[in-house]
Structure 1
Amino acid sequence: MGTTGRRVGRPRAAQRPDSGLAVRDELLGAAAELFTTLGYAATTTRAVAERAGLRQATMYHYFGGKEDLLADLLESTVTPSLALARGLLADEERSPETRLWHLCRSDVELLCGGPHNLGGLYLLPEVRAERFAGFHRVRADLKDAYGRLLAATGPGSLLDKGELAVRTDLVFGLIEGVILVHRSDPDRPVEAFAAATADAALRIVGVTEAGA
């Protein structure tokens, strides 16, 4: 979602070491830090720009306001997992159980592996606004991919439509629930946490091990 270079004619507010990031990505990084530490409501666009070492006018050159920053950050927590899920759905060499486990593990690593707990932003009441329809659409597509992988497993293939929907809700809820668990202990090893969560997700499905 970032650009490959900085736009000219937009001077910085203060001298900061060059991070090598595009201006858009610097602003998103600053917003991620402030939204997750100070809180979304308490963060101003001026604060975001200053944290990135830029002028507020520069921020408005790239984003219309806080909602645009938040929308981009939210979508960044889902789009990589959706791309992975689509690839796994097309992968017929590995078992459905293994593919579902891999998606669960990778999704948890994405949600918990970054420097900021962006998943915690899901809980903001502002996210229910129409501006975030894109995020909700991508998230719904990801949940659908979970359901399709679940249905392809041995136990999943035996479920009727209603039970399949329930199991999908439970698995997807477990994966997104790591947001709160991780917030309570952000120093826990992410890889082991992700693997344990994926194991738990498969037990919800009725699978005892991922297989080959």
Structure 2
Amino acid sequence: MPTTARASGPNRGRVGRPRAQGPAADGLAPRDGVLAAAAELFTRHGYAATTTRAIAERAGLRQASMYHYFAGKEDILAELLEGTVQPSLDLALVLAARAEPSAEARLWALCRADVALLCGGPHNLGALYLLPEVGAERFAAFHRVRAALKAAYRELLAATAAGAALAGPELELRGDLLFGLIEGVILIRRGTPAEPAEVLAPAAADAALRLSGAPEPAVADAAVQGARLLGTLHV
């Protein structure tokens, strides 16, 4: 799954002003270059310590030109954060609408893809969830999408054989624990940044199925079916 934040908001599709130093060496469009530069600087030096001037310079833009794409740091951060959850929510809605394979396999597929999204990029953007600034109203859209993704996890969990035996607060708690396990890879990646996403993602998905209450044979079957499903969906 892609890890670059999706384009959104009123600036989508606008033509940018010229760069200060010509095209970026990495070949990114100016808007994407700003997002990539901010992702690097936010995760390396911290959000508060990163200035818009530093972002613009890293992206090869004049600072004034950067404001053609984003109103400020909050807008950049909001788009980066939404890009870490929106693709997983889109996939979750597709999986929830399917009747097959099993709910266990679809839950496994969502877990694996979500971890791959969180860990697949060069920067640990999930660590930005913990910023105190993310509690501001500007990030309400991110919180809505994240809450919708959490609800989609719970819906898939409830459709599994083990989840069907749960009810009310117990189901909600189990869903919260499962969602927390998946997002916990953010902390794992912070401690062991070299851990390959292709190893961590299926391991986390297996652990999530075990946490859901699925017996070991069901976990193994879900992994096979879930991987096949992701292949058919080109995820």
TM over 0.5: yes
8 Å contact kept, 1:4–1:22: no
Shift of residue 16, structure 1, vs aligned partner = 5.1
8 Å contact kept, 2:39–2:125: yes
Shift of residue 87, structure 1, vs aligned partner = 0.5
1:156 and 1:132 map into 2 onto residues whose CA distance is: 32
Gap regions ≥5 residues in structure 2? 1-5, 226-235
Match of 2:201 among 194, 206, 211: 194
Match of 1:146 among 149, 153, 157: 153
8 Å contact kept, 1:6–1:22: no
8 Å contact kept, 2:24–2:33: no
Tell me, yes or no, if structure 1 residue 44 matches structure 2 residue 54. Answer: no
Q: What is the percent sequence identity of the aligned residues?
A: 65
Q: Which residue of 2 aligns with 1:177?
A: 184
1:87 and 1:11 map into 2 onto residues whose CA distance is: 39
8 Å contact kept, 1:5–1:23: no
1:147 and 1:6 map into 2 onto residues whose CA distance is: 38
8 Å contact kept, 1:111–1:117: yes
Question: CA 1:4/1:62 → structure 2, altered by over 3 Å: closer, same or farther?
Answer: closer
Match of 1:108 among 96, 112, 115: 115
SS at match of 1:155: helix
Match of 1:74 among 76, 81, 89: 81
Residue correspondences, number: 211
Q: Which residue of 2 aligns with 1:86?
A: 93
Match of 2:15 among 3, 7, 11: 7
Structure 2 length normalisation: TM-score? Answer: 0.86
Q: Which runs of 4+ in 1 moved over 6 A?
A: 3-6
1:190 and 1:172 map into 2 onto residues whose CA distance is: 18
8 Å contact kept, 1:6–1:23: no
Question: CA 1:68/1:17 → structure 2, altered by over 3 Å: closer, same or farther?
Answer: closer
1:143 and 1:106 map into 2 onto residues whose CA distance is: 14
Letter of the structure 1 residue corresponding to residue 44 of structure 2? T
Letter of the structure 1 residue corresponding to residue 213 of structure 2? G
Q: Deviations over 1:97-116 (max 9, x none)?
A: 00000100110010011011
Structure 1 length normalisation: TM-score? Answer: 0.95
2:30 and 2:121 map into 1 onto residues whose CA distance is: 19
Q: Which residue of 1 aligns with 2:214?
A: 207
RMSD, matched Cα:
1.6
2:18 and 2:144 map into 1 onto residues whose CA distance is: 36
SS at match of 2:60: coil
Q: Which residue of 2 aligns with 1:33?
A: 40
Q: Deviations over 1:83-102 (max 9, x none)?
A: 00000001112000000001
